[in-house]
Structure 1
Amino acid sequence: MPATIPELAACPEPAGRADPVRILTAQATSRVAELIPVRNARMAATPFTFYRGAAAVMTADLAATPDSGVNTQLCGDAHLSNFGLFYTPERRMIFDLNDFDETSPGPFEWDVKRLAASFVVAARYNGYDAKTSRAIAREVAKSYRKWMIASADQSTMDCWYARIDADELLAEVGSTLDTSTAARTVKGLRKARHRNSLQAVGKLCVTDDEGNLRIRSDPPLLVPIDELFPDHHADVVAERIAVRIEGYRSMLPDYVRALFDQFTVVDSARKVVGVGSVGTRSWIVLMRGRQGDPLFLQLKEAQRSVIMDHVPVQPYPNQGQRVVEGQRLLQAASDLFLGWTSGFDENDENRDLYVRQLRDGKGSIVVEALTPGEMNLYARLCGRVLAQAHARTADRLAIIDYLRSGKGFASAISDFAAAYADLNDADHAALVAAIERGDVPSNELR
């Protein structure tokens, strides 16, 4: 039986859960072994960084609680740091979801719960009291419900094209911000607008003795191919990356391929990104256009979504395709160069990857800098974006019917979020203790 709305507040009891450290350790077996200590250190830093990397832990917990029975395409990891600014192919800057590694069908409220709980975890870390933290989680759910139900009055095409333009957003909320907050917001927007391949070159590249542009070395976070592997093996890996790029090129639409073909590969490197993704294979490829203009692509490993262990779905033949198709469905506008590929890695294992621009105006909120009022505003914004993402799917009306079936959605979600933040605190402490005992390797890279 589908859960009633009040039943969505249910949270697993600590004693009946799987060991969170064991889940993370099992997940690490398919990742680059030398990078696992980096991942553990990043997750151990704070309860919030732990939460960011523990999608597998939370999904197992969500699967053990009553659900609505209404499935839709999920982001799968909709915490507050996975929302941000980026450019559309038309060069308009919008605010939207921007991480889809775990995207897969599942109960719609799983995304809402992951988002709401992330706000409680972040609010606690910022020193907010329990009442304020819970109220912020409530705003997430209220905003989601409001905008989801509002979509019932929109046409299918209007839902598909709905987006939050950054300039329009700033004008809309500007009157609610104090002077210092508005100035910081404008500064962040300007910074995001300058985050592109040219800016990435200045940060990630050096010029060698012959005047050629190369990706710089900063091991283990950024390591060029010829430094990462012995001479002969480096050539083999570089060739395998070239094969993957050719496979990616072959799936591009003709008009994008015509643009892509104006660029030539210059250099490639392994780059560590994020918190939860640390240890998955992630390559960056520097390319140059005919006028010398740079293009940075990221080839990121796509593993099986953590959701797929708990919700039966028809799998894609390529996990990179799963990520791309989920992103194109949920995002208001997606990267022009978004695509997928596969190929053998340095260990002769076949890996699925998705491809995107490394930077294209991307910018995200600095959680630690938010005041309670700002976080409250941000909670409403993220709830709205998540609702618009779900409203793009064919399951929109079923979600709306469920939300209208009873009262207390916001209260149930905020109750769950507060209870889950307690579990997350304990899980973070367990990881820290495991590191201190020497059971789990850690490298803080100071």
Structure 2
Amino acid sequence: MAQDTTNARAKKPSGKGAGRKGNGGKKSGPRKAESASDRQQVHTKRRGEKRAQAYRRLAQRYAEEAAVTLPTVLTGQARREHVRATILEDHAERLEAHAQGTDLKFKELAKDLYKYFRGTALVFYRDIAGTDAALPKVLLLGDVHPGNFGVMPNRDNVPIFSVNDFDEVTYGPFTWDLKRGATGFVLGAKCEGGLKKKKRRKVAACFLQGYIRGLRHFAEHETETHEVIRMDNAPPIIARLFEEAASSRDAWLREKHHDEQRKGFRASDEIEPVSSRRDEFQQHVERLAETNAICKGGRCGDLKVKDVAVRHGAGTASLGLARFYVMLEGPNGDGCDDIIVEFKRARSSALDGIVPTGDLDPGKLADRIAKGQRVHLPNGDAFYGAIEIEGKSFLTRERAPYREDMDLDDLDYDAWREYADACGFSLALAHARSDDAGAIDHDVEPAILKAMEPHDLFVDDVVCFAEEAARRIKKDWKAYKRDWKLGGLSRKALEL
């Protein structure tokens, strides 16, 4: 029975000084009123957390029971509202902060189906929440598609070809990368390549077959700890990408970054110099150098910050997130060999809480991303790391003259197949390192090869998944475009 607490309540003080602090009779200062904006931000954050928790429970229940409805069964208006709510939740922080670039991102996604796919990973992954829990796990790249492979520098400043975007990296079933990747190749071949359905199927199949070929290679030769794809051992289509990426650092800096005196950044629509922050970023660079064991001397010179700029309009999924470019003075001192280091705001992985990871913990924010890069790339970029700026987590990496992605709209059908095969092989190399540099405690290659048997059926299953997912994504995109035109992807819509 509930206890009557009427008489137990403390009586209001009376007499002189009542309601005042024991500070000489002076009243305490007025409490700062909570603004409507503050209350709305708290409300929005709690609502987002509630939805995220619901999907964590859904993923866990599906992994354990395999009998819980996933969002893929939603149709019509219910599906439209689910997709809208998920995209708003994913961009809540950016919308609340009026982050520059958020509206631009929404506009870009409305223009192009393939960009929409790339920029809405959370919708994709919630559709498969908790699935494939019993399959072998690897360190997932998390956002596999044709645009997330390319040429980049390793720690010795030598160009290599590999997976190149680790923002979503986390542990989970190997199939999650293959399903996302196959769907990406179906949509990329459609939107960028203009290929018909039958040819799109074959392109996606080549991606999966390249993956199987890679796993067989590493299971037999066990070279994943040190093997990389360089210009001398790359397939012809990737060798051509190396040739296209070849550029002198002097010309690249002069054309894209330096001002007329080569003393700092040149202002443009994309680059906004903030030279007043040089001293601040000098400290960040010194902390990064200590953490990553980057020594002064050689190509790094004295690690002196020459200039700082805000970078606008970069990326697809990351549009609207803070991003800085930091120019380090090269050893020659004349600008010809300066180094550009990017500081990019990190966020949680779109797979967080919905991918079955078991007890494997990838870490948090930029630290998770940096660790993932070190697992996937042997002897990777020396500047790839994690730094905290004003309480926010930032990923760091070098921008290089020979950092190059494939021009997908230049590929014909045969080139699409060759490129897809090379990307599949590259992904297999990244996955194969999960038990060498990562947290997996058993040999992953034979375990995955066995789980995919019979391999022809596995390839067909994943291709069929990709085609079905692509059709669903196209319907989602059409509803998204309508929502965007009607103001459904705005800060005001977030508050409703």
How big is the shift at 1:51? 1.2
Match of 1:56 in 2: 122
Name which of 391, 397, 407 aligns with 2:432: 391
- Greater shift, 188-197 or 56-65, is seen at 188-197
- Give the one of 197, 215, 225 matched to 2:265: 215
Q: Report whether the alignment pairs 1:270 with 2:310.
A: yes
* 1:116 CA displacement: 0.8
More helix by share: 1
Look up the match of 1:327.
373
In the TM superposition, residue 238 of structure 1 has moved relative to its aligned partner by 5.2
Deviation larger for 238-247 or 71-80 = 238-247
> In structure 1, the residue corresponding to 2:268 is in which secondary structure?
coil
The residue number in structure 1 matching 2:144 is 78
Alignment of 1:26-425 (within 5 A): 26-31=89-94, 33-63=99-129, 65-125=131-191, 126-155=193-222, 158-170=223-235, 173=236, 186=240, 188-194=241-247, 196=249, 199-207=252-260, 211=261, 213-219=263-269, 221-225=270-274, 235=276, 239-253=279-293, 255=295, 260=300, 262-272=302-312, 273-292=314-333, 293-311=337-355, 319-344=365-390, 350-394=391-435, 395-404=444-453, 408-425=457-474
- Aligned pair in 2 of structure 1 residues 274, 420: CA closer, same or farther (>3 Å)? same
Pick one of 79, 83, 90 that aligns with 1:20: 83
In our comparison, the structure showing a higher alpha carbon Rg is 2
TM-score in terms of structure 2 length:
0.74
Q: CA deviation at 1:50?
A: 1.0
3-state SS, counterpart of residue 205 of structure 2: helix
CA deviation string 1:48-75 (max 9, x = no partner):
1111112222121221544553211011
Cα distance in 2 for residues equivalent to 1:195 and 1:278: 28
Give the Cα separation in 2 of the matches to 1:198 and 1:97.
26
> Secondary structure in 2 aligned to 1:283?
strand
* Paired residue secondary structure (1:166): coil
Residues 424-433 or 295-304, more deviating: 424-433
Whole-angstrom distance in 2 between the partners of 1:259 and 1:290: 6
- Decide whether aligned partners of structure 1 residues 195 and 378 sit closer, same or farther in structure 2, where only a CA change above 3 A counts: farther
- CA offsets, 1:90-110, max 9 Å, x none? 444322111101111111111
Q: Given the superposition, is the C-alpha separation of residues 316 and 259 from structure 1 closer, same or farther in structure 2, using an over 3 Å criterion?
A: farther
Distance in 1 of aligned mates of 2:449 and 2:297: 40
Mapped to 1, the partners of 2:181 and 2:393 lie a distance apart of 27
Q: Partner letter of residue 225 of structure 1?
A: V
Please give the per-residue CA displacement for 1:200-254, whole angstroms capped at 9, x wherever unaligned.
34212213xxx462312223x322226xxxxxxxx5x555434432322321216
Q: Distance between the aligned counterparts of 2:262 and 2:420, measured in 1?
A: 46
**What is the distance in 2 between the residues matched to 1:195 and 1:299?**
23
Aligned to 1:231: none
CA contact (8 A) 1:256 1:336 kept: no
Q: Is this contact kept in 1: 2:324–2:343, CA < 8 A?
A: yes
Q: Deviations over 1:142-194 (max 9, x none)?
A: 22122213322123xx1212222223325xx47xxxxxxx9xx74x4333121
Instruction: Give the superposition deviation at 1:342.
Output: 0.8
Which deviates more, 45-54 or 399-408? Answer: 399-408
Indicate if the aligned counterparts of 1:197 and 1:295 stay in contact, CA closer than 8 A: no
**Which stretch has the larger CA shift, 415-424 or 327-336?**
327-336
Matched residue SS, 1:310: coil
Residues 319 and 352, structure 1, Cα contact 8 Å, conserved in 2: yes
Q: Which amino acid aligns with 1:362?
A: R
- For 1:137 and 1:317, the matched residues in 2 are separated by 31
Please state how far the C-alpha of 1:315 moved relative to its aligned partner.
5.2
Residues 89 and 65 (structure 1), Cα distance of their counterparts in 2 relative to 1, 3 Å cut: closer
Unaligned 5+ runs, structure 2? 1-60, 64-69, 436-443, 492-496
- Which letter maps to 1:168? N
Residues 11 and 382 (structure 1 numbering): CA distance in 2 closer, same or farther, change over 3 Å? Answer: farther
Cα deviation, residue 330, structure 1: 1.0
* Secondary structure in structure 1 of the residue aligned to 2:165: coil
Q: Distance in 1 between matches of 2:412 and 2:188?
A: 11
Q: 1:101 to 1:248 in 2, by over 3 A?
A: same
Secondary structure of the residue aligned to 1:161 is: coil
Please report the TM-score for the alignment, with normalisation by the length of structure 1. Answer: 0.82
Cα separation, 2, equivalents of 1:382 and 1:329: 17
* Native 8 Å contact 2:152 2:402 kept in 1: yes
Contact 1:343 1:351 in 2 (8 A): yes
* Alignment-mate amino acid for residue 113 of structure 1: K
SS at match of 2:343: strand
AA matched with 2:73: E
- Matched residue SS, 2:340: strand
Identical positions, percent: 23
Gaps of 5+ in 1: 4-9, 175-181, 227-234, 345-349
1:197 deviates by: 7.0
Alpha-carbon separation, structure 1, partners of 2:250 and 2:447: 41
